[in-house]
């Protein structure tokens, strides 16, 4: 049995379980707004995700780093930076940057799309695996910021006018926005939505049971669940 079944809301801020009485209820402990699920979770997640997808194009097409030297000016996109690392022999580094800057944002957007579609179809397929996918998306997202930091440090350090200068390019703005937007998207997704179709499938009591702190029906009792 889920908390929502008894109209009990888990405070998103302090974790206190309390009864939801009407709209605009507040947590009695911390004062945060109470709701059974994150409000407009699907719409918000889509909005951030689509914005990230759109910005992903300039993030990859525009130069992220501009290197000026005696030999001329070199404009590097994320991909050409990886190719340069690979051809200069530091392939472990090339793999690391390729993974963090290209694979992770792309896989993250694909994963969030799949999660959103599966939730909207009220899919009952492999909820635990989908939850694990969500946890992975949340955990790994921040590491995409890697390339921004690399460019930032290089731009601060390589400022030797006569020999070489590095400046951050407009691609860096778009890429930073992609990372922030995908993080916001993952945060607005409510993983409990994955489980909701399964919960609704269990037969409900004929009369909606008033939310009692001590449910007495043995079938509905949380104690009947495996620990």
Partner 1 sequence: MSTIRYRFIAPAPMLAQRRPAAPPARGELVACHECDLLQRLQPFSGDSVQRCARCRALLLRYRVDGAQRSLAWALTGVMLFLITNAFPIVTLELQGIRNNSTLAGTVLSLWHEGLPIVAGVVAITTICVPGIMLAAMLYLLLPLNRGVLPAGSIGLLRALAAMRPWGMVEVFLLGVLVALVKLTHFASVIPGTALWSLGALVIALAAMSASFHADEVWRRIGIQPLKP
Q: What is the footprint of partner 1 within residues 42-101 (CB under 8 A)?
A: 85, 88, 90, 93, 96-97
Q: How far apart are CA 189 and CA 207, in angstroms?
A: 32
Question: Residue 123: left if φ>0, alpha if ψ -120 to 50, beta else—which one?
Answer: beta
Token pair 């909005």 in the structure block, residue: 47
Binding-site member from 7, 15, 57, 103 for partner 1 (CB under 8 A): 15
Q: How far is the CB of 124 from Zn ion (least distance, A)?
A: 16
In this complex, which beta carbon is closest to partner 1, that of residue 32 or of residue 103? Answer: 32
Q: How far is CA 187 from CA 28, 52, 144, 153, 195, in A?
A: 24, 14, 16, 28, 17
At residue 75, the 3 state secondary structure works out as strand
- Find the distance separating the first CA and the last CA of the chain, reported in whole Å: 13
String marking each residue 143-172 x if it binds partner 1 according to CB under 8 A? x-xxxxxx-xxxxxxxxx-xxx--xx---x
Residues 165, 53: contact at Cβ < 8 Å? Answer: no
Which residue stretch of 31-39, 155-163, 183-191, 211-219 sits at the interface with Zn ion (rule: CB under 5 A)? 31-39
Q: How far is the CB of 141 from partner 1 (least distance, A)?
A: 9
Binding-site member from 7, 29, 122, 132 for Zn ion (CB under 5 A): 29
Q: How many residues bind Zn ion (CB under 5 A)?
A: 8
Q: Say whether residue 30 binds Zn ion (CB under 5 A).
A: yes
String marking each residue 78-97 x if it binds Zn ion according to CB under 5 A? --------------------
Binding-site member from 55, 109, 112, 194 for partner 1 (CB under 8 A): 194
Neighbours of 132 (CB within 10 A): 11
């Amino acid at each position: 049995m889920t908390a929502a079944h008894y109209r009990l809301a888990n405070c998103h801020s302090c974790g206190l379980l309390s009864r939801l009485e009407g709209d605009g209820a507040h947590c009695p402990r911390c004062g945060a707004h109470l709701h059974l699920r994150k409000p407009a979770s699907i719409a918000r997640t889509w909005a951030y995700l689509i914005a990230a997808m759109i910005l992903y194009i300039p993030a990859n097409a525009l130069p992220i780093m501009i290197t000026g030297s005696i030999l001329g000016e070199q404009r590097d996109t994320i991909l050409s930076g990886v190719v340069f690392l690979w051809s200069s022999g530091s392939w472990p580094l090339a793999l690391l940057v390729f993974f963090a800057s290209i694979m992770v944002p792309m896989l993250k957007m694909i994963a969030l799309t799949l999660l959103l579609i599966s939730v909207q179809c009220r899919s009952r397929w492999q909820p635990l695996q989908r939850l694990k996918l969500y946890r992975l998306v949340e955990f790994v997202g921040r590491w995409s910021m890697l390339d921004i930091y690399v460019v930032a440090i290089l731009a601060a350090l390589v400022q030797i006018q006569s020999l070489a200068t590095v400046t951050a390019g407009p691609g860096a703005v778009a890429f930073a926005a992609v990372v922030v937007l995908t993080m916001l998207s993952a945060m607005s997704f409510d993983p409990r939505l994955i489980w909701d179709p399964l919960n609704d499938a269990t037969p409900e009591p004929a009369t909606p049971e008033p939310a009692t702190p001590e449910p007495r029906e043995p079938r509905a009792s949380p104690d009947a669940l495996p620990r």
